[in-house]
Copies of this chain bind each other. A is one copy, B any other.
Amino acid sequence: MKGVYLVTDRELCGNRGVAAVVAAAARAGACCVQLREKTASTRRFIETAAHILTLLAPYRIPLIINDRIEVAQAVGAHGVHVGQRDMAPETARRLLGPDAIIGLSVETWEDVDAAQQLEVDYLGISPVYATPTKTDTKAPWGLEGVTRIKDFTRHPLVGIGGLDASNAAAVIRAGADCIAVVSAICAASDPFTATIRLKETIENAHLERGF
């Protein structure tokens, strides 16, 4: 998994709706979409997830559900992303099976260390920079943190938090495989062009890093 990883935010998507923003990012070549719903009812979350799963299918882009394992199960999404206050990744693995994508947010070095023993598919370095989108996080990792994790962990890395086209390249050069963004796409006036721009920036940085 390399490139642009979209994390949705219903409020930031505004009147155009989450599905329209996801569709634009998919057309523009996002590598992954994480549906994150913190206030929707379970039924609405499931309905939205089912709709977006159908929408992503032709692009073969995986749909990851934030936190809610049962929503992923209900619609047959490709995986889940869990934070340190969500279901333990071992339990998520047991419920979802070996083929599911399971991502885990790491906020402290203890989290990174513990993750070496876990069957997760990537670590979300959270947050790389401070962000107004998510306020319940710990101190930002910064570029040094990304490199320190890269040198230690066996897992692929997704940077998240305060990332956009202006700083994505540096985070890739520091060791991230993938750049997750919320507002850089959800709040963009043109999510399609915003995704294209991010994707190009990330691809160029990967080429500079030498793979």
Q: Which positions in A face B, CB cutoff 8 Å? A: 41-44, 46, 67-70, 73-74, 82, 84-88, 91, 95
Contacts and interface: CB of A to CB of B under 8 A. Distances in A.
A12 to B, nearest CB: 22
Contact of A41 (B46, B69, B85): B85
A95 to B, nearest CB: 5
Contacts of A91: 46, 74
Q: Give the number of times this chain occurs in the complex, counting copies.
A: 2
A68 B42 CA distance: 8
A74 B46 contact: no
A88 B44 CA distance: 11
A82 B86 CA distance: 21
A95 B73 contact: yes
Contacts of A44: 85
A67 B42 contact: yes
Contact of A87 (B70, B82, B95): B70
A86 B88 CA distance: 23
A179 to B, nearest CB: 26
17 contacts: A41-B85, A41-B86, A42-B67, A42-B68, A42-B82, A42-B86, A43-B85, A43-B88, A44-B85, A46-B87, A46-B88, A69-B70, A69-B74, A70-B70, A70-B73, A70-B87, A70-B95
